[in-house]
Structures are given as C-alpha cells and as structure tokens.
Copies of this chain bind each other. A is one copy, B any other.
C-alpha cells in the first residue's frame, strides 16, 4: 500500500490537478436525461435540482467580480394550521485575495471588499441569512504552527473590526450574518478561540459560538492555536429561524450535530476549511447525514484556492516540507432534513449558494420519520456516562459466554 493512502479516502495526485469543475457538472455532461434523473434522485434526493431564478442585479455583481451564483428551492408540504416559513439561506465560499506575505491590513481589507460585494449580491437575491467560511478574514494559516503574524488576525468577537463591518452590512440589508473569525478574548487572558459571531438582521450582536472539536490531523494543527470551545451548543433565535453553527471539524462528530438538534436548531451552518486529499470523499456524507439524523437543514461551506505561506511546514505524514496544503475544494452545499441536497458550488471558484427553504419541513420530517421520538436518549445519556468511567468495561460477548 502506498504511503499516504491511509489519509486518502482521496488520493494524493488530486492535490495538484483539479480536473472536475464540480462533481455535478461532470454527471450532467455525460449522463443522458432519464438516467441522469435517476442518478440525481439516488445521489441528491430528487431528480430535479429545483433551480430558481437569480435576479439580474445579483448576476451583474457576480459577473463583475467573477464569482459563481447558484440558487435552488427546497419546498415543504402545505399545512392547514401553519403558514409556510420560507427563508432564503446563503453560503459564501471564497479564496483569499493577496499573497500571505502582504501586510495584514491589506490582506484583510481585500477580503472585506470581496465579501462585501458577495453579501451585496446575496442581498439583491433576497437572502435572509448568510454565512461565510471558517476564519474568513484571513488565510488558513494554522498549518504553519507559527504564532506570528497570524495570531494578529484574532479580534474581539463583539467589538472587533470585522464585527463592526458585518453589523453595518446586516442592518443595511436586513440580513442575519454569521461571521466565523479568529477570536481574541482580551477580557480573559488574551486567549484565542475559533469562533462564529452571529449578527441579527437589525445589526445587533446576537452572540457567539466557539468551535467545539479541534483537529490535530495532517496540516490541520489547530490545537496549537485554540482550545475546545466552552460555549456549549447554543441556538440563536433569529427572525428567520433557529440557527446554530457547527464549526469545521465538529462535522465529524455526530453527537455534536445532535446536541444542536436537541436544543432546537432548524438550520445548522458548518463553516469549514478542508482540502481534497484529506476529506473530499467525506464532504458530501457528513453534513448531509447530520441533516437527515437531526431533521434540520445543514449548510456546508468550504473555501477555495491554494494558499501559499512564506515558510515551509510539515504535515506529520512523512512527506517533504511544503508551503501550501493543496487546493481547498469548495463544493459548498445545502442539505435538507428529508435527505434532499443541492448541487455543490464549484471546486475552484468563489461562489454564492442560495437555497429558498421552508422551515416547516423540519417538523414535517420529524413527524414522518419519527427520529426524535425513537431516539431513546436516556439510554444513551446513561451509556455515555458509563463509558466515561475510568473503569468502564465494554459490553463484549465471547465464545462460551452463552453456552
């Protein structure tokens, strides 16, 4: 077996050459109509993507600034006693703008400008809630294990410059905005956290959530920078539904997704930063499984582009030191509680993904499938507690035990 194959569930060649614009574009190119419908039904939960029209103003901004826009609807059954709760949810994926050697203010300002334009396009498309990718104000420099200058990007969640910018945009466009940043908690020993800030559509600071599960895998040496979050599993009750944020690596932990559901989330955003050789085959599985298992919508967001750093770093994988981790593969998508998902954005281009969803679908799917009713939570609360005991003995049956 080749070295490096373990991590793959992808394969290493990928990192240097992206030959598919997106998985869906390839399926659509080759598979004829009727069979394509069946392929989509099995892979995406419906034979028709339900694309919806994007306003000209949005398309004009996208054309000017060179990003992709895709929009789809995920409807629910009409009810008699509840009106539909239609919400437009948006995800933004993007590359950084300047070299990582540029001055930090310049790097950040260039990203601010790019995102401001995409948010403007989202507003023109009547998006109600928009979420950016993880640590969106900066290159994903945690691969380097260098504290300087990258930790300078960290800022106060409530009063930092990014929050101020986002508050302005949120109020201007009547939009809830989720802004995942690197947080500096100046009031508590200057600790750094990986945090998502939530701004209401009135421009108010609603609150923040800190990343619950921190990776130490390959290039993602994030435990060097921040600790496991101490904010629990908060739900933010907004005018457009109850939302939560499961940051990046937390998507690998089903119990994390589950707690957001138990607290009542209707949409869980998963702002991420992840690369092809590491996780691409898992990408379509995890956030979608979470949507199904917890009867809520999930929004999986990954960045694009290749970020190169001035100093070499290693991945702890026996390979040579290098200056980038290969391209982030984008492919942001939105999944629904009934298993339907949208096509992904491209694997290599800035993009804005919009889904018009009916939040009534969450409770409808709960009633239909009955997962919350059948989940036997007391059994698992007790079982997990037993496993935590240092003297825990696993439930193992051996030959002869039952003879």
Contacts and interface: CB of A to CB of B under 8 A. Distances in A.
B10 A23 contact: no
Interface stretch (A64-72, A188-196, A286-294): A286-294
A369 B233 contact: no
Contacts of A264: 394, 396
B282 A292 contact: yes
Interface in A283-332: 284-286, 288-289, 292-293
Contact of A395 (B200, B263, B388): B263
Contacts of A259: 380, 383
A252 interface: yes
Nearest to A254: B254
Contact of A288 (B46, B285, B400): B285
A384 B376 contact: no
B381 A235 contact: no
A384 B216 CA distance: 26
A325 to B, nearest CB: 16
Q: Chain copies in the assembly? A: 2
B35 A20 contact: yes
Interface in A185-226: 198, 200, 202, 204-207, 212-217
B258 A255 contact: yes
Interface in A21-60: 23, 26-27, 30-32, 34-35, 38-39, 41-47
A258 B259 CA distance: 14
A234 interface: yes
Contacts of A81: none
Contacts of A401: 206-207
Given A41-B14, A42-B281, A7 B262 contact: no
Given A31-B30, A384-B384, A397-B207, A212 B45 contact: no
Contacts of A99: none
A280 interface: yes
Contacts of A205: 402-403
9 contacts: A1-B76, A215-B370, A233-B383, A254-B258, A256-B380, A263-B395, A264-B396, A377-B387, A381-B381
